[in-house]
């Protein structure tokens, strides 16, 4: 469990290592987000996961999941795909490259990036949306989730995703001081979200972090203050 002091200490150490030329081994999220997402995975224990938007953080999170969990990741950027394919070596992680050159303006049901999930079996315990075309990914998630499945949307501080997330029966959106990055949304049509993480603990941590950030970035003076918020259905 993280405290405000430990997340700031870890963040400072990571920035220093990056400045010295070391590549961080942990996901490049704020440490309060890593704490939140790790706890979620440990408690939920999905066996078949789908990720829109491949990343080097996948092996980090996979170690918290059951040994028979398989993670399917869909990526659209060929250069980035080659990087992660070269660095990720696990028979539990399955990477797919989808060419989206002809995909501009497609709706959710004809979006080949989103619908590539059908070629991977089409039914998942867990879907993480953290890549392109997020609105389409969210809109199609109910089709690809098993009963009792969970959708997670990263960067849910972006308000344009909210109306899509709120189409689900059960949803929670946790936001902090940022506007264009960060934050998580959880959604499901038949899963109770209350016990997946310790919402009270994370809310206290995120609220304190937002207050500190708004103060030291002088957002209260320039009128751009954005505070912590937890919304739910």
Domains of the chain: 28-232 (3.40.50.150)
User: Is the pTM for the entire model greater than 0.85?
Assistant: yes
Q: Model confidence over 97-107: pLDDT tens digits?
A: 998 877 766 78
Q: Model confidence over 138-181: pLDDT tens digits?
A: 999 999 999 999 999 999 999 999 999 999 999 999 999 888 89
Cα 193 to Cα 219: distance, rounded to the nearest angstrom: 32
Residue-level pLDDT at 108:
87
Cβ neighbours of residue 138 under 8 Å, at least 6 residues apart? 129, 151, 153, 161, 164, 165, 167, 187
Q: Which is more confident, 227 or 115?
A: 115
Residue-level pLDDT at 222:
45
Residue 134, H or E segment: helix 134-144
pLDDT-based confidence at 224, cuts 50/70/90?
Answer: low
Q: Which is more confident, 33 or 15?
A: 33
Residue-level pLDDT at 215:
73
Residue-level pLDDT at 129:
98
The percentage of residues in the chain with a pLDDT greater than 90, rounded to a whole number, is: 65
> Strand pairing of 229-232 and 145-154?
unpaired
Residue-level pLDDT at 221:
44
Min mean pLDDT across 41-50, 69-78, 81-90, 196-205 is at 81-90
């Amino acid at each position: 469990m993280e405290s405000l002091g430990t997340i700031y200490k870890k963040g400072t150490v990571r920035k220093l290592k990056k400045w010295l030329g070391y590549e961080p081994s942990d996901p490049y999220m704020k440490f309060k987000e890593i704490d939140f997402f790790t706890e979620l995975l440990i408690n939920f224990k999905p066996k078949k996961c789908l990720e829109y938007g491949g990343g080097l953080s996948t092996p980090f999170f996979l170690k918290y999941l059951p040994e028979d969990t398989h993670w399917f990741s869909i990526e659209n950027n060929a250069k980035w795909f080659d990087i992660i394919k070269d660095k990720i070596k696990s028979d539990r992680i399955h990477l797919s490259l989808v060419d989206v050159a002809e995909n501009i303006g497609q709706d959710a049901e004809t979006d080949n990036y989103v619908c590539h999930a059908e070629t991977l079996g089409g039914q998942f315990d867990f879907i993480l949306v953290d890549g392109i075309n997020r609105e389409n990914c969210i809109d199609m998630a109910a089709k690809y989730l098993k009963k009792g499945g969970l959708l997670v949307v990263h960067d849910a501080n972006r308000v344009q995703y909210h109306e899509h997330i709120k189409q689900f029966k059960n949803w929670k959106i946790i936001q902090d001081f940022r506007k264009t990055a960060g934050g998580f949304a959880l959604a499901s049509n038949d899963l109770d979200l209350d016990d997946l993480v310790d919402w009270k603990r994370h809310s206290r941590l995120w609220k304190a972090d937002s207050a500190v950030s708004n103060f030291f970035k002088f957002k209260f003076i320039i009128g751009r203050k954005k505070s912590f918020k937890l919304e739910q259905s």
